[in-house]
């Protein structure tokens, strides 16, 4: 019989944060779909409307939380999937560094777009 292996150690920080971000994503994704697919239909979404929504502090912060949690959840999931496939040593370090860098760049660019959409000047 094959032995079960998972890179997520039950009770570890990676395991815990993956579950917490999943719960946060369920809430923020539901908010996103409700607001942008049921309240406002696709044909009604405009740049001006996006700027108006992003100028509201609560909406802005919700979208930043959505961005950060989705990025962490996705990057951590891909990294652990690679670990489950058996990468180790140099491959593991390259994957960790590459995915961390990609995640960081995604968050930085997402925050830059959110700031621009909110009309905040730094």
Which pLDDT tens digit goes with each residue over 28-54? 999 988 988 888 777 888 899 999 999
Is residue 93 within 8 Å of 27, Cβ to Cβ? no
Q: Which candidate, 120, 17, 113, places its Cα nearest to that of 64?
A: 113
pLDDT at residue 29 in the model: 93
Say how many C-beta atoms besides its own lie within 10 A of residue 32's C-beta. 14
Per cent of the chain over pLDDT 90 is 70
- Where are the domains positioned within the chain? 13-118
Q: Is the pLDDT of residue 5 over 80?
A: no
68-90: pLDDT as tens digits: 999 999 999 999 999 989 999 99
pLDDT at residue 7 in the model: 58
Is residue 119 within 8 Å of 55, Cβ to Cβ? yes
pLDDT category of residue 10 using cuts at 50, 70 and 90:
low
Q: Say which residues have a Cβ less than 8 Å from residue 29's Cβ, sequence separation at least 6.
A: 66
Query: How many helices and strands in the chain, by DSSP H and E?
Result: 4, 0
- CATH architecture, domain 13-118: Up-down Bundle (1.20)
pTM value? 0.86
Q: Which candidate, 8, 24, 28, 31, places its Cα nearest to that of 77?
A: 8
Q: Is the pLDDT of residue 2 over 60?
A: no
């Amino acid at each position: 019989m094959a032995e079960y292996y998972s890179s997520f150690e039950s009770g570890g920080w990676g395991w815990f944060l993956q579950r917490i971000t999943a719960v946060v994503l369920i809430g923020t994704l539901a908010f996103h779909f409700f607001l942008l697919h049921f309240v406002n239909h696709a044909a009604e979404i405009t740049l001006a409307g996006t700027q108006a929504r992003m100028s509201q502090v609560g909406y802005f912060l919700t979208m930043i939380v959505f961005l950060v949690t989705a990025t962490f959840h996705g990057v951590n999931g891909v990294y652990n999937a690679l670990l489950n496939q058996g990468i180790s040593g140099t491959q593991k370090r390259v994957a960790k560094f590459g995915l961390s860098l990609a995640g960081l760049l995604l968050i930085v660019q997402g925050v830059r777009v959110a700031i621009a959409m909110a009309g905040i000047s730094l």
